[in-house]
């Protein structure tokens, strides 16, 4: 879907600390109408804290947030009526059937669904045959789809999804991606958090990379990857000392995450020759060696010096 440059969310220098822990530190970004905007980072990076501030569920220590032109700190109730929220932990009412949950949530918004309308919404998420099922009888993917369906009962303009596919198997994850794309195709703006590189690269029009509460980069996935300037990453078990590796011809940079050493280069053959010679001199085996073209994982590694922590 074609997005506009009209900001529907404006985040200006928000910060949030919990005691001595800085969860979010002075981050700023806009979200445009019709786009899928992602905050990509490991667990504990500050993604959920930032999202709950946007949702009006938590107050920032500093800074401001506007949603649909309204200040969240003074218009939380009005904003909540126009957004849909799926929380990181899917909390469904255990004793209500799926269709009853939809009908209850619609009444909470003052727009009560009859059974036919509730059934129709469930069918939109391939849950029509689960209408009479309680949460305990649903799979993880079905629970996530029901949680998103519940976030849509008020026909929101903006949908905020916190780790929507966390814990799902690859098939369920891709199925949920299709539903998220469908939401965008129907004119909704999506904001999601994720620690899955492939998810951010596949779904998002723009991605903000966040780590330790700091927004480190923000652009389209393609532009972020292009910043790597064609660098290929060679990864090998952390058996070789990283400092001598920097002296190998063709090596641009070296990162170590404690488990693997990641070498960035534009000349793979030259670096492989140097690696083999260095391994012989050090009397160690290269073991499992991986070569990959630039992706968002390399962008994250480039900005943080470590791989994303699941």
What is the per-residue pLDDT across 264-285, written as a single tens digit (0 to 9) for each? 899 999 999 988 888 888 787 7
**Average pLDDT of the chain, as a whole number:** 90
Q: State which H helix or E strand residue 203 sits in.
A: helix 197-203
Q: State which H helix or E strand residue 23 sits in.
A: strand 21-32
CA distance to 10, 40, 130, 163, 281, per residue, from 147 (Å): 26, 21, 13, 12, 57
- In this prediction, residue 2 carries a pLDDT of 56
Domains of the chain in start order, with CATH, are 7-225 (3.40.50.300), 229-293 (3.30.70.980)
Instruction: State the DSSP code for 155.
Output: -
- In this prediction, residue 297 carries a pLDDT of 85
Higher-confidence position of 203 and 279: 203
Q: Sign of torsion, CA 87 93 97 102?
A: negative
3-state helix/strand/coil string of 188-253: CEEEEEECCHHHHHHHCCEEEEEECCEEEEEECHHHHHHCCCCCEEEEEECCCCHHHHCCCCCEEE
Instruction: State the DSSP code for 135.
Output: G
- List CB contacts of 249: < 8 A, sequence separation 6 or more: 267, 270, 271, 274
What proportion of the chain, given as a percentage, has pLDDT over 70? 97
Backbone angles phi, psi at 182, to 5 degrees: -65, -40
- With left for phi above 0 and alpha for psi between -120 and 50, is residue 26 left, alpha or beta? left
CA distance to 39, 45, 158, per residue, from 210 (Å): 7, 6, 21
Q: Which of 10-14, 40-44, 295-299 is predicted most confidently?
A: 10-14
- List CB contacts of 75: < 8 A, sequence separation 6 or more: none
What proportion of the chain, given as a percentage, has pLDDT over 90? 67
Whether the Cβ atoms of residue 309 and residue 300 lie closer than 8 Å to each other: no
- In this prediction, residue 231 carries a pLDDT of 85
Confidence of residue 1 (pLDDT cuts 50, 70, 90): low
Confidence of residue 239 (pLDDT cuts 50, 70, 90): low
- In this prediction, residue 118 carries a pLDDT of 96
Is the model's pLDDT at 107 over the cut of 60?
A: yes
- List CB contacts of 267: < 8 A, sequence separation 6 or more: 249, 250
- In this prediction, residue 240 carries a pLDDT of 66
Q: Which of 65-69, 139-143, 196-200, 233-237 is predicted most confidently?
A: 65-69
Is the model's pLDDT at 126 over the cut of 80?
A: yes
Instruction: Please give the average per-residue pLDDT across 207-224, as a whole number.
Output: 95
Read off the pLDDT of residues 9-40 as tens digits, 9 standing for 90 and up. Answer: 999 999 999 999 999 999 999 999 999 999 99
Confidence of residue 230 (pLDDT cuts 50, 70, 90): confident
- In this prediction, residue 14 carries a pLDDT of 97
- In this prediction, residue 215 carries a pLDDT of 96
Backbone angles phi, psi at 224, to 5 degrees: -65, -40
CA 281 to chain centre: 43
Instruction: Please give the average per-residue pLDDT across 58-87, as a whole number.
Output: 95
* Sheet of strand 70-71: strand arrangement: 21-32, 7-18, 62-67, 70-71
Give the number of C-alpha atoms closer than 13 A to the C-alpha of residue 104, restricted to the C-beta side.
Answer: 9
CA distance to 233, 255, 279, per residue, from 263 (Å): 5, 7, 14
Is the model's pLDDT at 198 over the cut of 60?
A: yes
- In this prediction, residue 289 carries a pLDDT of 86
Instruction: Please give the average per-residue pLDDT across 197-203, as a whole number.
Output: 94
**Cβ neighbours of 63 (radius 10 Å):** 16
Backbone angles phi, psi at 206, to 5 degrees: -140, 150
* The overall pTM is greater than 0.75: yes
- In this prediction, residue 309 carries a pLDDT of 60
Backbone angles phi, psi at 280, to 5 degrees: -65, -45
**Cβ neighbours of 299 (radius 10 Å):** 26
Is the model's pLDDT at 219 over the cut of 80?
A: yes
Q: In the structure encoding, which two tokens stand for residue 112, read together?
A: 């009560």
- In this prediction, residue 276 carries a pLDDT of 87
Read off the pLDDT of residues 138-176 as tens digits, 9 standing for 90 and up. Answer: 998 999 999 999 999 999 999 999 999 988 889 989 999
CA-to-CA distance for 12 and 228, rounded, in angstroms?
28
Confidence of residue 94 (pLDDT cuts 50, 70, 90): very high
Instruction: Estimate the share of the chain in helix, then strand, then coil, as percent rounded to the nearest 5.
Output: 35, 25, 35
């Amino acid at each position: 879907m074609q997005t506009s440059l009209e900001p529907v969310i404006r985040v200006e220098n928000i910060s949030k600390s919990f005691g001595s822990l800085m969860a979010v530190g002075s981050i700023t970004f806009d979200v445009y109408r019709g786009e899928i905007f992602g905050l990509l980072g490991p667990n504990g990076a500050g993604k959920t804290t930032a999202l709950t501030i946007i949702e009006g569920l938590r107050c920032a220590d500093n800074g401001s947030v506007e949603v649909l032109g309204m200040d969240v700190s003074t218009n939380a109730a009005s904003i909540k009526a126009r957004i849909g929220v799926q929380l990181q932990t899917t909390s469904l009412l255990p004793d209500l059937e799926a269709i009853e949950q939809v009908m209850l949530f619609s009444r909470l918004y003052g727009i009560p669904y009859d059974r036919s309308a509730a059934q129709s919404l469930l069918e939109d998420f391939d849950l029509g045959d689960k209408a009479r099922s309680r949460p305990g009888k649903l799979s993880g993917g079905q629970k996530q789809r029901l949680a998103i369906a519940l976030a849509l009962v008020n026909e929101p303009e903006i949908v905020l999804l916190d780790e929507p596919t966390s814990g799902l198997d690859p098939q369920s994850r891709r199925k949920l991606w299709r539903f998220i794309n469908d939401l965008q195709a129907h004119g909704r703006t999506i904001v999601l958090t994720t620690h899955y590189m492939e998810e951010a690269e596949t779904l998002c029009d723009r991605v903000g990379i966040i780590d330790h509460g700091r927004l480190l980069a923000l652009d389209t996935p393609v532009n972020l990857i292009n910043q790597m300037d064609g660098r290929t990453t060679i990864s090998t078990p952390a058996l070789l000392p990283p400092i001598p590796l920097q002296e190998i011809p063709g090596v641009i940079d070296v990162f170590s995450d404690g488990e693997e050493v990641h070498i960035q280069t534009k000349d793979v053959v030259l670096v492989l020759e140097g690696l083999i010679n260095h391994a012989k001199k050090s009397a160690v085996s290269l073991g499992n060696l991986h070569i990959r073209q630039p992706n968002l994982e390399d962008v994250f590694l480039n900005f943080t010096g470590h791989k994303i922590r699941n």
